[in-house]
Amino acid sequence: MLKKITVIGAGQVGATTAQRVFERGYADVVLVDIVEGMPQGKALDILESGPVVGSDANIIGTNGYDETEGSDIVVITSGIARKPGMSRDDLLLTNMKIIGDVTKEATKRSPDSIVIVVTNPLDAMVQHAFEVSGFPRERIIGQSGVLDTARFRTFLAQELGVSVRDVQAYVLGGHGDTMVPIVGYTTVGGRPISELLPKDRLDSIVQRTRDGGGEIVALLKTGSAYYAPSAGVVEMLDSIVLDQHRILPCSAYLQGEYGVNGYFAGVPVKLGSSGLEEIIEINLSSDEQAMLQKSVDAVEELVEIMHKSS
Ligand code: APR
């Protein structure tokens, strides 16, 4: 039997995620949105691509939650996206309300599901979903590090004229301006990046990675990135559905790891069929540890604002 994956929010990120999952063929998909007709229309359109892309999976759209019952995985992308001049944090309270509502509805009907949150500001939203759902940390994870790392790897591969597949890297910390590209663990064909690029070039690529989301927002003007974000979600889904035990940078609830207690932050985790199987602790330089702490402090501030408002 195919898995069942619910995608909440049928906007740019949600619909592209649904399309990518449908094309994998390993899961039936339920696409949920509040806009009447829109998730139904997109789902039908994707379904009709089945004969061409070779997928026998089913996909339906809905404005309610009954159809989501018994999902193995729930991906939450609902919310408002950034417009030019807005930071991810500007979305905080609006998206908090949306995430709270949809998490309640979805987890009630799929109490054993694994939840992946994509909505920004990511680390605060996944923390809110964690608190609302009461799920164990193994089954509630945020997508951000896969995307940030993909951006970093893209820029490094371009700079060095090598395949993206040969650039190994991790971007940890919060999904925001305080994200932490771990230069010490960045290698190209096994060689440390510090041997291949002068510091100023590397610094500017790190900065471009931090600003990667904003660069796309400034170009699009009417929304934010969705092709690479949805690809990031699907890399996580692959690892869970196919029990691949991939080690991927994801936002996870830390309980002492990396010196952080009680907050979500981007760290390398092992993902398999039961969700988060292990948090991998890599050695950080004192600078990297300090940057990670700074990014956790930023998340902590947002979580405090959310707690005060509720
Ligand atoms: N229930 C279900 N869907 C909702 C709800 C809700 N309560 N509130 C809003 N939505 C839907 C909107 O109707 C819209 O279709 O969420 C969708 C969001 O889609 P887009 O506006 O296209 O935004 P998108 O680019 O997909 O980004 C979604 O992901 O990467 C993050 O920062 C991004 O937080 C944003 C999220």
Given pLDDT bands bounded at 50, 70 and 90, which one contains residue 271?
Answer: very high
Q: Determine the residue of 63, 77, 101 to mutate for testing ligand 1's pocket, defined as the one with the most ligand atoms within 8 A of the Cβ atom.
A: 77
Whether 245 is a known active-site residue: answer: no
What is the position in ligand 1's atom list of the atom closest to the CA of 78? 16
CATH no. of 145-309? 3.90.110.10
The pTM of the full predicted model, rounded to 2 decimals, is: 0.97
Which residues does residue 248 pair with via DSSP β-bridges, in sequence order? 269
Over residues 73-119, the pLDDT tens digits come to 999 999 987 777 777 777 898 999 999 999 999 999 999 999 999 99
Structure tokens, 230: 């949805």
Residue ranges, comma separated, of all CATH 3.40.50.720 domains in the chain are 3-142
Query: Is 13's C-beta closer than 6 angstroms to any atom of ligand 1?
Result: yes
Q: What is the pLDDT of residues 107-151, one digit of tens each?
A: 999 999 999 999 999 999 999 999 999 999 999 999 989 999 999
98 within ligand 1 shell (Cβ under 6 A): yes
Q: Give the domain 3-142 fold.
A: Rossmann fold (3.40.50)
Rounded Cα distance between 28 and 288, Å, is 41
Q: Is the CB of 14 under 6 A from ligand 1?
A: yes
The residue contributing the CA closest to ligand 1 atom 16 is: 78
What stretch(es) of the chain map to CATH 3.90.110.10?
A: 145-309
